[in-house]
Amino acid sequence: MDATTGLSTGLSYGLSEEHEALRKTVEEFAREVVAPVAAEHYVQGTFPYDVVRQMGRMGLFGLPFPEEHGGMGGDYFALCLALEELARVDSSVAITLEAAVSLGAMPIHRFGTPEQRERWLPRLLAGDGLGAFGLTEPGAGSDASMLRTTARLEGGEWVIDGAKSFITNSGTDITDLVTVAAVTGTGPDGRKEISTVVVPSGTPGLAVAPPYSKVGWCASDTRELGLAGVRVPEDHLLGERGRGYAQFLRILDEGRVAIAALAVGLAQGCVDESVRYAKEREAFGRPIGGHQAVAFAIADMEARAHTARLAYYDAAARMLAGRPFKRQAAIAKLVASDAAMDNARAATQVHGGYGFMNDYAVGRFYRDAKILEVGEGTSEVQRMLIARDLGL
């Protein structure tokens, strides 16, 4: 057992007692609390406030944070385990937790001053408030150097102008803040100086658009933001001025491990639902799972989920041990998102016409899977990162 990571260093990658206890607790919560209401929230496009409230009471939003700020004193791998179990039944709930922790609270924990942590973290870690990260813009996605949002100092305040797109958790009734990436000047090398500034919800000039109408993740909150003359105090700068680009690169590296865990959960959920259905549904005189074509399809699904899980376990272990993990995070995200998409397609096929219905979990899984190949770095970006790390 590696005492640093809580992961077995053997071939089985067995979990520590603490991690296994957490996994079982979240598995039970997902099955008994999340799953029964998932379809209703999905079809109606409503945010699951009650589920989020219960997740807060369980301490899930504080899992990888120290107790001094109201966290649970756990680690990032604990968060990944929780995300996997939640995504086995509902990716909307899982992405709400992932974004709130890795994109909302984590930047403040990693880069904030003691005063900023004391001011904002307690509510975020308790799940009483949600944080969002405003990076993507209408014309700046994978190429973050194309940022157009600006922030200038004026009279002891940051004045921010611009627009952000596809921002998760940015417009709920409990959203507390958005950390905005903005151009704050020009560096000595002539490149854009990018910094991050915390903008509390309700700040004049911050316009929150209605929720997007999405193909998947229909019960999560995703919106466009407009910033027109938004003014916040100078001390809302997060971390060192001009270090915003480096900050979000680190946050995105960590986030890819979390997204990989979420994708594994969806992939495993497809296996769960397909095994259940294949045992119950009969065709040609016996359960369809007795037909080799169906059995082999499900076997391939399990192999993909298992392989992807090992990939994110490895990336998480490296991260927690303080070893380089950029390549492994990219591999995990790439492999896991492919597994999710392939398993969702296969599970829909196993279910036949029922797989096309939103009342069945695999119908929702199919719609949820595609964004995993896009969000927090497209599959093409992951391949680019892997190739660069290989020296190509």
Annotation marks residue 376 as catalytic: yes
Q: How many residues are recorded in the chain?
A: 392
Burial (CB count within 10 angstroms: exposed 0-12, middle 13-18, buried 19+), residue 366 = buried
Q: Across the strands, what pairs with 179?
A: 133, 198
Report the SS3 class of residue 245: helix
Residues 29 and 35: their CA atoms lie apart, in Å, by 9
Of the listed 98, 224, 254, 376, which one is catalytic? 376
Q: What does each C-alpha distance from 48 to 62, 124, 217, 269 come to in angstroms? A: 19, 17, 12, 20
Q: Across the strands, what pairs with 378?
A: none
HSE (CB half, 13 Å, CA atoms) of 203? Answer: 28
Residues 267 and 368: their CA atoms lie apart, in Å, by 11
Helix, strand, coil share (%) of the chain residues, nearest 5: 55, 15, 25
Residue 104: name the closest of 165, 180, 47, 202 by CA.
180
Handedness of CA 135, 226, 184, 113 (dihedral sign): negative
Residues 351 and 270 sit within 8 Å (Cβ to Cβ): no
Q: What angle do CA 378, 226, 178 make, to 5 degrees?
A: 70
Catalytic residues: 376
